[in-house]
Amino acid sequence: MIQFEQVCKRYPGGHQALNNLSFHMPHGDMRFLTGHSGAGKSTLLKLIMVMERANSGQVLVDGRNVSKLPARHIPELRRKVGVVFQNHQLLFDRSVFDNVALPLVIAGYGHRDIGRRVRAALDKVGLLDKERQNPITLSGGEQQRVGIARAVVNKPKLLLADEPTGNLDPQLSAEIMHLFEQFNQVGVTVLIATHDLSLIARMPYKLLSLRQGQLVSAGGSHE
Amino acid sequence: MSKSKQKGSGASKLPKRRLGQLQTPAKPSRRELSGAKTHRTRFSDQWQSYRSHHRQVASESLRRLLKRPLATLMTTLVISIAMVLPAGLYVGLNNVEAVSQGWDGAARLSVFLKFSVSDQDAQKLRQQLADRKDIASAEYISPSEALEEFRRRSGFGDVLDQLDSNPLPGVLVLSPTADNSSPEKIEALRDQLNALPQADLVKLDMEWLQRLNRITDISRRLTLALAAMLAAGVLLIVGNTIKLAIENRRDEILVVKLVGGTNAFVRRPFLYMGFWYGLFGGLLAWLLLASSLLWLSGPVKELAGLYNSSFSLLGLGVLDSLIMWASAAGLGLLGALLVVGRELRAIEPK
């Protein structure tokens, strides 16, 4: 699903975010991306979303080299990838329902389809009763769940999360992680960037550990 | 209506609706039609939802403008003033042309008679001339009639009373037939008339008309130049307004782009915004112009009456009005187009 081949990313100003990084993540896999802040976790996710482009090497997403993807094809790629952000990126000028519906509206679904899918996604994250509220009235954990609902509403094959539990207490974090596991169980490839090692220590998934832009381990979290 | 649809429209009735909010479908590209596995709909459905999406974006942009009536009015007013100037000049020129049109075909020759010519001789001459094939009508204005008319029209009656004798000569006013109204034939006729022993001076009432036509031509070009400059002004006004609107919705645009919104999708509400600004500007300009014309029409009619003319002010016709509205809306759209691409390219999620 995701394949990096000798990827280098250097930001203007000289910071080397990724250095000759190679790894392969098969379909249906769930992995954690760990490392200190500045180790290149966010950069890696941004390369997959084509929010940044590699200076050299190849980034393949679902068999497609996205490092050279023309700008007009980027929206198409992003519709296939669900992303959960640490700061949620919700819009506070509209209801929970409309926030979750956004990817569907953009993709061109009809009213009826949108209603059905949005409710299914909200039901999945346990927020069906909050669909008419403004996300600003929700708690941090609930906001994150709205973000997750929005990420999965389009039934993406790939789900990325950047520090999804960054601001949450352990109890809520565990719940969020459990949600990700559920999506993985239905076949979604899940890649979660986190520095919360205590949270993932008990979970049986492989780690991608970055240090200074290089892979230091690709083993299981229990190793 | 299904239950889910009812609930869906309920959810969308929340006070604020924004870009990409429960509006159906951006037009899916051809690629998606063929490639997407997760979402396959019939083309007619796509087309229908594309159109309904446009309707929704259009009305949403409109609602957004109406929600800030004062700011919208200001912008609209600026646009309309920029449009009213050239449109007003255009209407004015149309009127000048309409006035002169009546004279165009019927150039007239005034034959000023020598003072020695008596009224009877003048009448005889009039009859002779009226019988000519190339002259449609001939009218004699005797010195006393001329004096009376001058007294009536000029308002110099008191001055005229102090004169010992009538200073005005008798005049024969000749209208050539339509076939003989071309400048060359009239000049030839003038030369023949000049040769008459009774004639003191033959005046061709056409030179000033030609001058007037040239002046109108020049004014028309000036109007066009002015219109072009003011159109550029409208583009800048709309462009700048749209630019601010984009800046205000930056967060929203970022999120939409992150979840796969195409540039066309992001651009659409702003293009509609430009369209509405332009159209409103055009409508307001039209109103301003129409009310000015209405306000002027009374005095113009009185003035025309003083010239024994039944001329009344020409307004903007249906076609002109439609052209005015369409070009206003077009300018608004163009103004939006000019900035939207560049501005939206600059907003990319980082």
Across the interface, of A79, A111, A150, the residue whose CB is closest to B8 is A111
Look at the block and give the residue holding tokens 């939409």: B256
Which pLDDT score, from 0 to 100, does residue A183 have?
92
Which pLDDT score, from 0 to 100, does residue B22 have?
52
Nearest residue in B to A111, CA atom? B24
Look at the block and give the residue holding tokens 């994250």: A125
Which pLDDT score, from 0 to 100, does residue B72 have?
92
Which pLDDT score, from 0 to 100, does residue B104 have?
52
CB contact under 8 A, A110 and B21: no
Which pLDDT score, from 0 to 100, does residue B2 have?
41
Q: Are A14 and A43 in contact (CB under 8 A)?
A: no
CB contact under 8 A, A114 and B24: yes
Residues of B with CB below 8 A from A83's CB? Answer: 258-259
CB contact under 8 A, B348 and A83: no
Chain B: nearest CA to A145, how far in angstroms?
A: 16
Q: Which residues of B16-43 are buried (b: 16+ CB within 10 A; e: fewer)?
A: ebbbbbbbbbbbbbeebbeebeebebee
pLDDT band at residue A207, thresholds of 50, 70 and 90?
A: confident
C-alpha A97/C-alpha A15 separation (Å) is 40
Number of H helices, E strands in chain B: 12, 4
Interface test with B, best of A79, A92, A95, A105 (most B CBs within 10 A): A105
Nearest residue in A to B39, CA atom? A109
**Packing angle between helix A111-124 and helix A140-152, nearest 10 degrees?**
130
Q: Is A149 near chain B, with CB under 8 Å?
A: no
Q: Domains in chain A, please, with CATH?
A: 28-39+71-217 (3.40.50.300)
Would you give the end-to-end CA distance of chain A in angstroms? Answer: 24
Consecutive H or E run containing A80: helix A74-80
Q: What DSSP state is assigned to residue A220?
A: B
Closest C-alpha among B187, B170, B171 to residue B107: B187
User: Which residues contact residue B157 at a Cβ distance below 8 angstroms, ignoring those fewer than 6 apart?
Assistant: B151
Q: Are A218 and A206 in contact (CB under 8 A)?
A: yes
C-alpha B267/C-alpha B336 separation (Å) is 9
**Packing angle between helix A96-107 and helix A111-124, nearest 10 degrees?**
130
Quick: pLDDT tens for A105-135. Answer: 888 888 888 999 999 999 989 999 998 999 9
C-alpha A10/C-alpha A3 separation (Å) is 19
* pLDDT of A218 strictly over 70: no
Chain A: nearest CA to B58, how far in angstroms?
A: 15
Across the interface, of B7, B29, B49, the residue whose CB is closest to A110 is B49
Which pLDDT score, from 0 to 100, does residue A112 have?
85
Average confidence (pLDDT) over A175-191: 91
Mapped onto helix, strand or coil, the DSSP state of residue A104 is: helix
CB contact under 8 A, A106 and B252: no
CB contact under 8 A, A102 and B28: no
Quick: pLDDT tens for B219-265. Answer: 889 999 999 999 999 999 999 999 999 998 998 999 999 988 888 89
Strand pairing report for A158-162 and A189-193: parallel
Residues of chain B with confidence (pLDDT) below 50: 1-17, 23-39
CA angle B166, B167, B169 (to 5 degrees): 95
pTM of the model: 0.71
| Pairwise pLDDT comparison (B214 vs A97), residue with the higher score | A97
Q: Are A158 and A80 in contact (CB under 8 A)?
A: yes
Q: Are B181 and B106 in contact (CB under 8 A)?
A: yes
